[in-house]
Structure formats: C-alpha cells, structure tokens
Structure 1
Amino acid sequence: MPNQTDMGAAFAAALARAEHHRRRSPRKVRVRLLTQWGEGEGLTVQARIAGRGEAEILAQEGLGVRVIPWAELDQRAGELPALVDAAVEEIEAAAAAAPVPARPSHVEDSVDWEAYETIAEAAYAQVLAEMRPLTERAPASLSRAVALEAVFLGLMKAAALASVGAGMGKDEAREMLEDAVAELLGRLAEGHRASLSPRLDA
C-alpha cells in the first residue's frame, strides 16, 4: 500500500503532466484535480479546452473527466499521471472532431446582401479614417512600417473578436482575410490606387 510519500509523489507527477500539456498544446488546455463529494465522489481529474465556438464547447460535455473513488485512492494514486494524459487526449479529440462553424452569411437564408455590403464598406471606410491618425501619432521610436504593423495587429484582434461574435471558425476568418488581401492587391495591380484612399504609404 502506498505511503504518504508515494501519494505526494503521485500528485506531483500528475501536476507535472498537467503543466506539460498546458505548455505543449497550441490550445488552452486546463487540467484540474478536484475533490468531489456525494454522487460519483472521489478525486476527480478534469480536462477542458477553451472552446472556439459553441460546437467545441458542446463537444466536450461529459468528457475529459476521470475519477478515483476515495476508497480506492491509496491503491490507485499511482494512476493519476496516466489519468491526466487520458483526460487531455479525450478532450483534444472531442474538440478536433467538433463541426467547424461556417460564416453566418453562408448558412442563413434570405440574407440582405445590399445591407451586408453597405455595412462592410462603411466599416472599411471608418477603419481607413482611423488608421492614418494612429500611425501619425506613433512614437518616434517606431518606424512608419513598424507602426503600421502595430495598427494591423490591433485591427486583427478586433477582427478576431468580431468573428467570434459571429460564431465563425478560424478557417472562415482566414479565408475572408485572404479574399480581402487578394481584392486589394488586384486593385493595386489595375492601377486603382485612388480607390484605396487615404494612402497610408504616402
């Protein structure tokens, strides 16, 4: 039967595995060791991933959980690191298998495309109007190119927030960004620089 030192070592090993998964995964994997009383009571290992959408959150329901009943803990404490691994693997597989969310405009019926394009163009114009003053107010320690990169990063964070609010997946958001870049490069190639006013490289 494991003694107190063995129990402490098992907990330390389990926490080390949890930290390993947190550092390894490109997703936000969180592993907790919980004390659970009542129905299903015991030491509980619970793994979760921050869902990128409702589908991923729902896919994790009831998964990523392992329990060692209190009466068996002395004998089974050594299983804790392996239970952490199993819980994480299960939850990662569930999130990976979740349906990828699509653009609302691709799945909703009767979209008012005129209103859609109007809002898109208004957002584009407003963002352009703000970008130039932001770069002009940048500290002298930043070059114009680096200041524009910083503005771009801020815009991407705002775009990411909008895509989450719309329930879109990252692949859909990436496709929209690629389409927008292709459209603007096409305008430049055709000599439509005036349509990109105000010029940010002037």
Structure 2
Amino acid sequence: MADFLDWTLSMLSKSSFQTMEGTVVMNGMLQALAQLFKHGKREDCLPYAATVLECLDNCKLSESNQMVLRKLGMKLVQRLGMTFVKPKVAKWRYQRGCRSLAANLQAPGSVVQNQMMTVAANEADDEEEYDIPAEIENVVEQLLVGLKDKDTIVRWSAAKGIGRITGRLPKELADDVIGSLLDCFRFQNLLRHGCAKKEEEIVPNPSS
C-alpha cells in the first residue's frame, strides 16, 4: 500500500487541473484514493491519512473549474475524516423511545429519572473515550467550504461527509460543527438578501 500511495500522491503533486492531461490524471488518482479509503481497513489506512490530506490541501481542488474534481475531492476528504475518527456511533444521538404516548405518560417518574441519569452517564463515558485527532478540524473546514460550492453534486458530497463525521464526534465538538454549519446558512442568507437588494437598486420598478 505504501508504494501505491507514494505513486498516486506523486502523480497528484505533479499534475495540474488547468490542463486537460492533468485533469484526467488527477481524476484517476482521486478515484483510486477514494476507493482505497472506502474499502481498506482503518488500521491499514490510518498511518497514511494525514499525508494524503496534506497532499490534497496542496492540490487546491476548490479552485478548479472541473466539477468532477471538486466532487472527488469532497468524497476523499470525507473518507479521510471517517478514517481519522473511530467507527463508533455517538451516544448523544437521538434514540427513539416508547412509541405509545399513553404508555410513555403512564411511566413512573422514577423510571424517567433513571433513564435521564443513564443517558447523562453514557454521555460522560462517551466524552472520556474519544480521542479526536487534530486533522478533523481541517477535514470539517474543507467540507464546510464544499457546502458553498456552486454545483449541487459537490454540496451533496460535502453534506454527507458532515453528517457522517459529526455522528462520530463527542457532543461538544458536534455542537461546534453545527454552529459553524448554521453560520454558513446565515452567510448564504445575508448574501442572497444583499444581492436581491442590489438588484432592486439597479433594476427600476416598472410601476414607478
């Protein structure tokens, strides 16, 4: 695996998305890496994940005009993120309780209190067991940038990555990701309203 990764990263670093030949080469290398980190064992891929992420940063795929390259970049970034974090479902995630409202309301108060205490204890244990590498911050940042992409298919890939990675993070870090996500939406709304206001200023009202 090490020799293959050295070759693919070398080809990526030598190629440029500004030429047709470079675009074809980068397309193939990104697809190969994405499949490798999807089907490979985590313990085998983890030692090389940081190096691949650094090479991907240097490629600056977000500046490319090729939608396919930006999409593959998002796909590879999210799979690198899934490699960094352990395949574990966070205990803070919503769990469906009793389906019957009547049975739920008739449950003794002590039972409900015990359930709340159990959930709090599980969350505390969950926080202690997590060991999140520093590269996750870079991964999440790139995925948030992908959410602002002009092409829907790139935004889809970034959104899937955000959801999958956040579901494995501790509650505190997951809250930070959600906060950044909401800030992204606020920025988009401000930008949209600002553009609409500028358009109203430029285009005269026919009724006036």
Which bracket does the TM-score occupy, shorter chain normalised? under 0.3
Q: Name the structure with the higher strand share.
A: 1
Q: Whose Rg is larger?
A: 1
Q: Which has the higher contact order (CA 8 A, sep 6+)?
A: 2
Relative to total residues, which structure has the larger helix share, 1 or 2? Answer: 2
User: Which TM-score applies when normalising by structure 2?
Assistant: 0.21
